[in-house]
Amino acid sequence: RLFSSTTHLAAKQPYNLADVGEGITECEVVKWHVSSGDTVEEFDPLCEVQSDKASVEITSRFSGVVSDLACEVGGIVKVGSPLCNIDQGIEAASSAPAQVSQPAKSPAMNTPASSGFEEAAHFDASAPGIKGLSPQVGIERHPNAEAIQTLATPAVRRLCHEHSLNVASISGTGKDGRVTKEDVLRHAGLTVDNAPARARAAASSPMGPVQTGEPQPLTGIRKAMFKALSHSAAVPIFTFTEEIDVTELEALRKQVNADLAMRAKRNPASMEGQPSKVTLLSFLVKALSTAMHDNPLFLTRLQFNRAASAARLIPRAAHDISIALSTPNGLLTPTIRSVEGSTVLDLASRISFLQKKATSTGLGAAETGDGGTITLSNIGSIGGGLGGTTPVLPPTGQLAIGALGRIVDAPRYSDTVPGGSKEGVATLVRRKILPVTFAGDHRVLQGTELANLVMRWKDLCERP
């Protein structure tokens, strides 16, 4: 009897978004490394997702062919929902008829005709479609593959849809060939400058309508900030502001950096794994760890729910201190773990690593985790002089957060500075003053407890 064989694909395997962290329910897809029709091997990167806490690269757990991407870049995927489908196996057979012996007449029925199956098993590595398969056997490309791969924001894609345009057919003038709104309007034959002209005309009229831009939804880290800090207003806080005289500490920092430079010049090999310089933040974090040891309440995190009777403090043995970092995508708070066992040079290297990674590849769960027991936010490079600033306590269970302002040169009487003589006539001297403000959870902390922590920290910093 005769039969005709056709290409057969194994059942599609949904590739679900795994749990990427405690309390994470959804992630934003920020980058696809594959497109529909691509062949992937085990551990190949599929995409990069952004959770409330960090960016995570998702890799494939098995080999196969990718199909049915869940969403475009910028889309939201729930934990446990499919990111894509992966065909784990492909069986190919000839579409040409083949003569097969009857079962009762010959055992050859178990052996397929050589010509048909040999042709079907012929692979052409240069052919389009799946790598290593001929066009007759390969999977067809997604009809919108070029449009999916074109760089464009969701707002620009929506504008293309409104004008019935294929985004892949538009030449992009933005960065890396990105298609902009102006490119779409120009391609559609519309005047790009019409909108600014109408805005200027409306501005000159007292009754003109207010011109607004395209609404931009909150995504990624900013969405997480909005969700988390919306709960902060419900927490009563106690703030404590103080000035720290860092004149001696700054002199010590400069001396350490001079020693590092000298060592690097004399024996560069000895500097492997060592920082080229240290910042004042490294000294401040180390001093805060010592102050926390003397005030162990700040080595705990608050665990609670709506029932006040269930609230409890969870102590930690390690001194885990978070630092706030500003990135183009939003605010991140990586954690420096076990500060008590680190030297100032170790802390300088770790802080430098976190700062560079936060602004380049992004921070992962290993750097953020479930956070520390206290946070330091340094905005001194921007401003925040002697007037200080008030930080917002995140609703993570931490009991306190501190904000560091800009160091300023200010006059102080000689008998009030650290180590100053109380005898004789006091004179005005120039000192380096660091303004700091701490905010504490007043549901748990007494004001004196937060003040004791800050004053102990102040004493350690002023007498290094």
Quick check: 77 and 29 in contact, CB under 8 A? yes
As given in the structure block, the two tokens for residue 60 are 């494939």
Quick check: 28 and 50 in contact, CB under 8 A? yes
Residue 21: Cβ within 10 Å count = 17
Write out the H or E segment, with its range, that includes residue 201. Answer: helix 194-204
Q: How far is CA 385 from CA 388, 407, 408, 439, in A?
A: 6, 7, 7, 18
Query: For the chain, where do the domains classified as CATH 4.10.320.10 start and end?
Result: 150-204
Which range among 48-57, 117-126, 264-273, 446-455 has the greatest average pLDDT? Answer: 446-455
DSSP-derived pairing of the beta strands 408-413 and 2-3:
unpaired
Quick: pLDDT tens for 283-317.
Answer: 999 999 999 999 999 999 998 776 566 789 999 99
Radius of gyration of the chain (CA): 31
Quick: pLDDT tens for 184-195.
Answer: 888 887 755 554
Phi, psi of 254 (to 5 degrees): -65, -35
257: Cα separation from own chain's centroid: 31
Tell me what the mean pLDDT of segment 30-46 comes to: 89
As given in the structure block, the two tokens for residue 438 are 């701490």
Q: Which residues contact 366 (CB under 8 A, 6 or more apart)?
A: none
> How much is the pTM?
0.56
Q: What pLDDT sits at residue 3? A: 43
Quick: pLDDT tens for 51-92.
Answer: 766 778 888 888 889 988 888 888 888 888 999 988 886 543
Q: Which CATH number fits the domain 2-145, given the four candidates 2.60.120.10, 3.40.50.1820, 2.40.50.100, 3.90.1150.10?
A: 2.40.50.100
Residue type (1 letter), 192? V
Classified as helix, coil or strand, 144 is: coil
CA–CA dist 284, 318 (Å, integer): 17
Whether the predicted pLDDT of 226 surpasses 50:
yes
Query: For the chain, where do the domains classified as CATH 2.40.50.100 start and end?
Result: 2-145
Q: What pLDDT sits at residue 388? A: 65
CA–CA dist 136, 133 (Å, integer): 8
Classified as helix, coil or strand, 259 is: helix
Quick check: 52 and 32 in contact, CB under 8 A? no
Quick: pLDDT tens for 386-433.
Answer: 666 788 888 888 999 999 999 999 999 988 888 777 777 888 999 999
pLDDT band at 338 (very low <50, low <70, confident <90, very high): very high
CA–CA dist 402, 375 (Å, integer): 6
Classified as helix, coil or strand, 261 is: helix
Q: What pLDDT sits at residue 149? A: 60
Quick check: 308 and 323 in contact, CB under 8 A? no
Topology of domain 150-204, per CATH? Dihydrolipoamide Transferase (4.10.320)
Nearest by Cα to 403 from 326, 336, 350: 326
Topology of domain 233-462, per CATH? Chloramphenicol Acetyltransferase (3.30.559)
Query: For the chain, where do the domains classified as CATH 3.30.559.10 start and end?
Result: 233-462
